[in-house]
């Protein structure tokens, strides 16, 4: 199954972000083994060198650990995983707020709209 990638961002970073999302959603847990470089390359439809770079980047920031002869694993360091979750939340909020401000909404209007949306989502209206 070949994945779709954006031309505006390096593929290895897009793959890393997808793995980060799986971790934050709980699909991948602390200590879970990632697919081998070859398996991930086939799943993603990319060159194994791209996956090697992805894993290297994720290891550089501490999200995964490579154990020689065993594979690559999600870190068991809960502090790092919590930081990842917070970082991703902040990035999404920043994008949302920027988009709303670009449309001319004030902070008060953004907050009111978000509260109304969440009430409707929860059936509290």
For 22-40, what is each residue's pLDDT tens digit? 999 999 999 999 999 999 9
Structure confidence at residue 2 as a pLDDT band (50, 70, 90): low
What predicted TM-score, i.e. pTM, was given to this entire model?
Answer: 0.84
Burial class of residue 40, CB neighbours in 10 A (0-12, 13-18, 19+): buried
pLDDT digits 0-9 by tens, 67-121: 999 999 999 999 999 999 999 999 999 999 999 999 999 999 999 999 999 999 8
Q: Which helix (H) or strand (E) holds 73?
A: strand 71-74
Q: Which value, in Å, is the radius of gyration of the alpha carbons in the chain?
A: 18
pLDDT digits 0-9 by tens, 50-77: 999 999 999 999 999 999 999 999 999 9
């Amino acid at each position: 199954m070949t994945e779709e990638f954006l031309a505006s961002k390096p593929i290895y970073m897009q793959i890393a972000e997808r793995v980060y999302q799986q971790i934050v959603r709980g699909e991948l847990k602390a200590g879970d083994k990632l697919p081998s470089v070859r398996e991930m390359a086939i799943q993603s439809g990319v060159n194994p060198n791209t996956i090697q770079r992805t894993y290297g980047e994720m290891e550089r920031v501490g999200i995964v650990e490579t154990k020689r002869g065993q594979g690559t694993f999600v870190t068991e360091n809960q502090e790092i995983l919590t930081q990842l979750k917070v970082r991703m939340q902040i990035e999404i909020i920043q994008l949302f707020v920027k988009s709303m401000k670009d449309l001319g909404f004030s902070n008060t209007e953004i907050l009111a709209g978000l509260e109304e949306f969440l009430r409707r989502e929860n059936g509290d209206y």
